[in-house]
A and B are shown apart, each in its own frame.
Chain A
Amino acid sequence: MVDYVLRRLLYTIPSLLGIVVVCFFLTRLSGDPTDLFLPIDASEEARDAFRVQYGLDKPLMEQFVAFFYKALQGDFGNSLRFGEPAISLLAERLGATIQLALATLFIAVGVGIPAGIVSAYYRNSLLDVAVRSLAAFGQAVPTFYWGVLCILIFSVWLKWLPTGGSGGLVHLILPATTLASTLVALLARVMRSTMLDVMRQDFVRTARAKGLGEFTVVMRHVARNAFIPVLTVIALQFGVLMGGVIVTETVFSWPGVGRLVIQAIYARDYPVVQAVVFFFALIFVLSNLLADILSAVLDPRVRYK
């Protein structure tokens, strides 16, 4: 087990390195970084001063090492707009995003997994066809469009919920539902197909032969086993979920990290963009790591290798 975790940790190193490389070259894509960080009418002296201050006059390799070192400490420089460290802007917005993400995950797992279980158990029934159609539909509709439709129906027409902003639980309902929509569809589909795989296994027949009730057979022997691979799928979807976070926060003016990065892009506030991109990629890598470790905890075949 410890071996496995350590080996898995080692595997994340190249990914982390890749993230730092991408973040570093991001600001050098357009040639001269001073174009990005300084106003267009900045004087040549100001540019030189900037280059010296941020080490841009040094060789590229040296710059990279310096960037790497700072990035690991969370130092991406100060926001061009607010003058504060980019990382503390990010930290300020983090709470709202985490709140949104947790609510989303809660809805997605709470709806998607049971839907997949029911759909697989009653396969080819009307219920199954309904779940599958809804899932296919849910995956085809872009997150932002869900958001707009939700606002139209629940805020504009029914006037039940606010169109955006943050506050109590009522503000969380629409954004979380929107963000969860694609994930629910995906989880239902994947859970259904892994359930069908597991249901064909011999040990399920053994469980029935023992005289267990259908509910116990399905939940304890099928769903539990089917959930392990689904966990990995959830983790892989974190990447897609992040795109969704950015979109959803924009649609509902949710004051989180996603909205921060879009505002930073509009304002050409590159240190903040870098910080958020780095942070999101880091979360993605870590969530995959976590999923692998979790499935090892749940699956003794991996645990005792």
Chain B
Amino acid sequence: MTSLPTHTEKKLGLAIDLDTCVGCQACVTACKGWNDQGYGAPLSDQDPYGAAPSGAFLNRVHSYEITPPEGAAVIVNFPRSCLHCDDAPCVPVCPTGASYKRMEDGIVLVNEDACIGCGLCAWACPYGAREMDADVGVMKKCTLCVDRIYNDHLPEEDRVPACVRTCPTGARHFGDFADPDSHVSKLTAARGGYDLMPDLGTRPTNKYLPQRRKDSPDMSAPLAPLLDIQATGFAGWLDKVLGKI
């Protein structure tokens, strides 16, 4: 049913650290690879060796440039995937019930067997989290690797989304935001994690951790010369410096 649950037991999601993401795209292809063979239909690619290759990806990393009024411009790498919103606008619009938010953990999923491929959920999502698979005509989206995180066939430490497991810098953190003591909740609190487009009322689960302060070295305490070399000459410097041993 496409009504949203009034409450979910857990709120599983990601905290994405924009101060750590180097934009390597590892999460993008790990996600593609996992979901190509995992939940639902493969993530097909059209014209893969042609002029305009185009396939379904559930996670894409943007790159933005911020130019402050003073100082150097900054590049930010910005991964974008489903935020598993509390008030997910993609769910109630679904005419078939294919799109739903799980009561137990808050994951927003598409039941591909019920999806008619109308695309309305993708229209309703402000974050571009959903992509229609051109091969099978169903809507694809981040499943938070629901087929990994509860999978007894994987070692416990691997029961995290593929993007989190592969992230070389550890910029992606997975956990339960409903638990204030979870790693992701604490990280979000400590780093001022924020929501994307909060005014749309979607109440995203995923949080973004902002960049730290840039380009502000302490220039107030430069090294003091041992002595005035011009005045004392090189020998004076040598005596002074070696006197320290």
Asked if A and B bind, the verdict is no
B interface with A by C-beta (< 8 Å):
none
